[in-house]
Amino acid sequence: MVNGKKLYVSASPHLRSTVTTRRIMLDVILALVPALIASAVLFGPRTLMVTAVSVATAILSEFAARKIMKRNMTIGDLSAIVTGMLVAFNLPATIPLWIAAVGSFFAIVVVKQFFGGIGQNFANPAIVARIVLLLSFGAQMTNWVEPFSWKTTPVTGATPLAQLAAGETPSASLLQMFLGEHGGCLGETCAAALLLGGLYLLMRRVISPIIPCSYIGTVAVLMLIKGHGDLQFVAYELLSGGLLLGAIFMATDYSTSPLNSKARLIFGIGCGLLTCLMRLFASMAEGVSFAILIMNLLVPYLERMTAPKPFGTPKKEKKEKKEAAQA
């Protein structure tokens, strides 16, 4: 019955997904484009320059690091471009270009390549780069300009988050907040563009909704408690700072977020909790980057804590407890 030619024996896997790293990264880049356009409109063409420098440095560093370490070339997977764009999105528009380059270099070489390249890094490269730059160049990293002021003379101004921390109502209206008409890092202000990118990633199934939803949800709930039910306060908190950028694009990074849904839920809630704690009680106005970094470090433990039970195996703990009780 069985024809020798039709019997085909091979090792698994027998079905291969068409999803490649390159396709995922391309999707993320596409999802970041609306925010990039928004930043260019809001803060002027200089943002494109900052992004270009950041991306170029990221690619060059990745190329040089792989060459020097004699590893196979991974530029083709486009992940360096994503990292470069995210680093740029975390900088204010006025940043000196060399600082953007330092940030990208640090993200790619120290955080990513020293630990083995894509998939091996323990923390999100862009997040660490942002924190390193913030600790190193505090003045340059918090030099915010008012939107549209690039057309005449750049005017520096406070971010809504700083105003919230000082107990004031931000000078921008909620609609302005949603459209990004307020001071901040170049990629984080326009909530509409970020949500558009997030929706695209969800539709393409590049990211799962668990982390962004639990992250943003936790912040919303905690801020609702803090504001004694003041919905306007909650909306301002959600739309200001790097929350949306962090929740949609940085906390969902594949190599630094958990794999299973339960761990992802804890991861998101943890990020939200830490972000709120830092925003409300720390000396800094923003805590998103630190929150994500801390949760990045906890990912291995979350994974171990929530490891699923193999199908058909007995429940270990209860049995042990019973035996202990009997003895």
- Least CB distance to other proteins at residue 266 (A): 26
Nearer Cβ to other proteins, position 32 or 129? 129
Could you tell me which residues are beta bridge partners of residue 156?
Answer: 145
Nearer Cβ to other proteins, position 132 or 224? 132
- CB atoms under 10 Å from CB of 120, counted, come to 11
Nearer Cβ to other proteins, position 110 or 284? 110
- Least CB distance to other proteins at residue 70 (A): 13
- Is the Cβ–Cβ distance between 171 and 144 less than 8 Å? no
Rg (CA), the chain: 22
Torsion, CA 9, CA 10, CA 11, CA 12, rounded to 10: -100
- Least CB distance to other proteins at residue 158 (A): 23
Token duo for residue 116:
């083995």
Nearer Cβ to other proteins, position 263 or 274? 274
- Least CB distance to other proteins at residue 293 (A): 11
CA-based end-to-end distance of the chain: 59
- Least CB distance to other proteins at residue 291 (A): 17
- Is the Cβ–Cβ distance between 248 and 89 less than 8 Å? no
Nearer Cβ to other proteins, position 25 or 141? 141
Rounded to whole angstroms, how far apart are CA atoms 277 and 174? 23
- Is the Cβ–Cβ distance between 69 and 116 less than 8 Å? no
- For 216-247, b/e burial (b = at least 16 CB within 10 A) is bebbbebbeeeeeeeeebbbbbbbbbbbbbbb
User: Can you say whether the dihedral through the CA atoms of 270, 275, 276, 277 is positive or negative?
Assistant: positive
Residues within the interface to other proteins (CB under 8 A):
96, 98, 102, 110, 114, 132, 135-138, 140
- Least CB distance to other proteins at residue 155 (A): 22
Helix (H, G, I), strand (E, B) or coil at 156: strand
- Least CB distance to other proteins at residue 135 (A): 4
Nearer Cβ to other proteins, position 101 or 302? 101
Nearer Cβ to other proteins, position 81 or 133? 133
Token duo for residue 312:
């058909």
